[in-house]
Amino acid sequence: MPRRASSTTLRKDRLDLEGRLRNTRVSAIVRQPNATGAWPRLQLVPAFRRFVVYPLALAMPLRRMHRIRRRMPTPTQGTSTMKTIRSVTTALLLALSLAGGARAQAAPEASAATTAGLAASAPVSKFHIRPVDDAWRASLPRNADAATQAYLDRLPADTVARSNAYFEGGYWLQLWNFVLGLAISWLLLRRQISARVRDICLRVGRFGVVRDALYGVFFSLASWVLSLPLTIYQGFFREHQYGMATQTFVPWFVDQLVMLGAQTAAFALALAVLYAVIRRTGERWWIWGTVATMAMLVFAVMIGPVWIDPLTNTYKPVSDPVVKAAVLQMAHADDVPVDNVYEFDASRQTTRVSANVSGILGTASVRLNDNLLRTSLPEIRAVMGHELGHYVMNHIYKGLCEMALLILVGFTFAKWALDAMLRRYGGAWGLQGAGDVASFPLFIAVFSVYMFVTTPIGNTLVRTQEIEADRFGLNLAREPHGEAEVDLKLTEYRKPDPGPIEEFVFFDHPSTRHRIHDAMQWREAMGTP
């Protein structure tokens, strides 16, 4: 990941399944001035939040649910519910078209941010690393433990405290999101809201597949609206609070609407496919449900970089010939079939640094974000060596296989739990079995319990690949100091020095100490400066 200056965070890569399954791409994020940065955002945000957004965000979903519930009971009211659905859909399409226009206008300013420019914007960023020069690095002790500690000592105490607070707050957010998901399912199931929506969808759609797709649209919109207050808090206010967000509220919200559109299309497609499969396979639906889910996951990985990512960011070939040559040199050294490197304007959303390389079914691309491009060449080389490692070691395919196993066990559990719940509550909730799309909130609730409980397993599977990629990257790029510098920057949003159990449970990437130690261990063994 190329990152130009020292201040911001590098988000090396988020190689979760979603990111991993994209066409090979390496993206690096560089902090860049936001096009909307001229707005007096920071002063206005607290007041806006307190007096406008919070009350509205809290009031709107409650009122809407109240209205929907009132309209559901009688058949004649079904038409007014459809009007509501239709007007919501219309508003969504309108918002999407407006979003297109807004994005066209919000072309990022030329990223003329030099190191000086970044320093000038430093008051916004609360993240600092004590700067050093090459002489400092060369004079580091050979011993990996001591060198690692010297690197970590460059993080000021308040920076570490802020990073810890941000990351540990994320533990609680995982819990709140989980609880909220369960509450939404319960809300939709009780009083048979879900069953009634299914009946309305059938009246409109006439065929099972169309009904299930329409239900998917409903579920996507309903869960989005009901979780909006938490989404706004964790996605907008919290990111501003910690100085990582670069967007004002309106462009941020437009991005959310765009992603809601994509999510809704995905839900419609996924439910139509999944429930068609479940109904046709009887008692063995958990096996074929796994197969269908994996097929859709592969599809998502394939189209993600081509159709989804460009919805919120602009991708273009890297303009810096030095960076391009450096990345291609490493790619060709390991026979990665790419002839170009792409950058994207992640800085319009965040200060985090990131990059990714992915390739599936013959496609491959390397993408860095513009925040990464503002770092030094050794850092960019270290990050891209890591990303190429994911590609060369076939981490996408291995990740999919691991995921298939995890999902199969999940479906097994879901079948058992769903059958038990349906026996007990199916009648009261108006559900007609596992093949009834109205039972989807119950399925999601059960599956989310499983995913929540297995969080440490999922994290460890991903983290293991990240450690492998780090070591591959060191061997390829031969930049232990570039690696260590980037790792320090990642502290902006990831706790740098957790305990071993904490890292096992909560970390989907190794911690800063872990990664720097790997780099310093390589340096010690190889005897490089």
| Sites of contact with Zn ion (CB under 5 A) | 13, 15, 466, 469
Q: Which is nearer to Zn ion, 240 or 395 (CB)?
A: 395
Q: Count of alpha carbons within 13 Å of 85, Cβ hemisphere only?
A: 22
* Of 15 and 338, CB closest to Zn ion: 15
Phi/psi zone of residue 335: left (φ > 0), alpha (ψ -120 to 50 degrees), beta?
A: left
Inter-CA distances, 340 with 17, 185, 316, 353, 473, Å: 24, 45, 10, 20, 19
Please report how close the Cβ of residue 13 comes to Zn ion at its closest, in angstroms. Answer: 4
Distant-in-sequence, close-in-space partners of 98: CB < 8 Å, separation ≥ 6? 254
Full 3-state SS string of 446-470: HHHHHHHHCHHHHHHHHHHHHHHHH
Cβ(346)–Cβ(27) under 8 Å? yes
> Measured from the CB of residue 234, what is the shortest distance to Zn ion in angstroms?
23
The residue among 326 and 355 lying less far from Zn ion, judged by its C-beta, is 355
Please state the closest distance from residue 383 (CB atom) to Zn ion, in A: 9
- Min. distance of Cβ 352 from Zn ion in angstroms? 14
Provide, rounded to whole angstroms, the least separation between the CB of residue 469 and Zn ion.
5
Minimum CB distance to Zn ion smaller for 13 or for 436: 13
Q: Which one, of 211, 191, 75, 267, lies nearest residue 431 by Cα?
A: 191
Count Cβ atoms within 10 A of the Cβ of residue 47 and give its class: 0-12 exposed, 13-18 middle, 19 or more buried: exposed
CB of residue 17 to Zn ion, shortest distance in Å = 12
Q: What is the DSSP letter of 437?
A: G
Q: Which is nearer to Zn ion, 15 or 217 (CB)?
A: 15
Query: At closest approach, how far in Å is the CB of 188 from Zn ion?
Result: 37
**Is residue 400 within 8 Å of residue 294, measured between CB atoms?**
yes
Q: Which is nearer to Zn ion, 466 or 485 (CB)?
A: 466
Can you tell me the distance from the alpha carbon of 57 to that of 73, in angstroms, rounded to the nearest whole number?
Answer: 26
Q: Least distance (Å) from Zn ion to the CB of residue 355?
A: 9
- Cβ closest to Zn ion, residue 103 vs residue 390: 390
Work out how close the CB of 296 gets to Zn ion at its nearest, in angstroms, rounded to a whole number.
Answer: 24
Beta-carbon contacts of residue 119 (< 8 Å; ≥ 6 apart): 5, 7
* Neighbouring C-beta atoms of residue 287, cutoff 10 Å: 15
Report the amino acid identity of residue 59.
A
Q: Which is nearer to Zn ion, 432 or 460 (CB)?
A: 460
User: Residue 63: how many CB atoms within 10 A of its CB?
Assistant: 10
- Specify the residue, 345 or 387, whose C-beta has the smaller distance to Zn ion: 387
Whether the CB-CB separation of 309 and 358 falls below 8 Å is answered with: no
For Zn ion, give the closer residue by CB, 24 or 293: 24
**Cβ closest to Zn ion, residue 72 vs residue 469:** 469
Closest CA to 106 of 316, 4, 248: 248
Opening angle at CA 423, ends 419 and 427, nearest 5: 125
The residue whose Cβ lies closest to Zn ion is 15
CB of 479 to Zn ion, least distance (A): 15
For Zn ion, the closer CB: 241 or 464: 464
CB of residue 484 to Zn ion, shortest distance in Å = 16
- Tell me how far apart the alpha carbons of residues 371 and 479 are, in angstroms, rounded to a whole number: 19
Assign 3-state DSSP to the chain and report helix, strand, coil percentages, each to 5.
70, 5, 25
To Zn ion, the closest distance from the beta carbon of 473 in angstroms equals 9
> Computed over its alpha carbons, how large is the radius of gyration of the chain?
24
Spatial contact of 113 and 120, defined as CB atoms under 8 Å apart: no
Q: How far is the CB of 20 from Zn ion (least distance, A)?
A: 8
Q: Which is nearer to Zn ion, 35 or 461 (CB)?
A: 461
CA dist 274 to 269, 281, 295, Å? 9, 11, 11
CA distances from 286 to 300, 409, 430, 455, 503 (A): 21, 9, 22, 21, 32
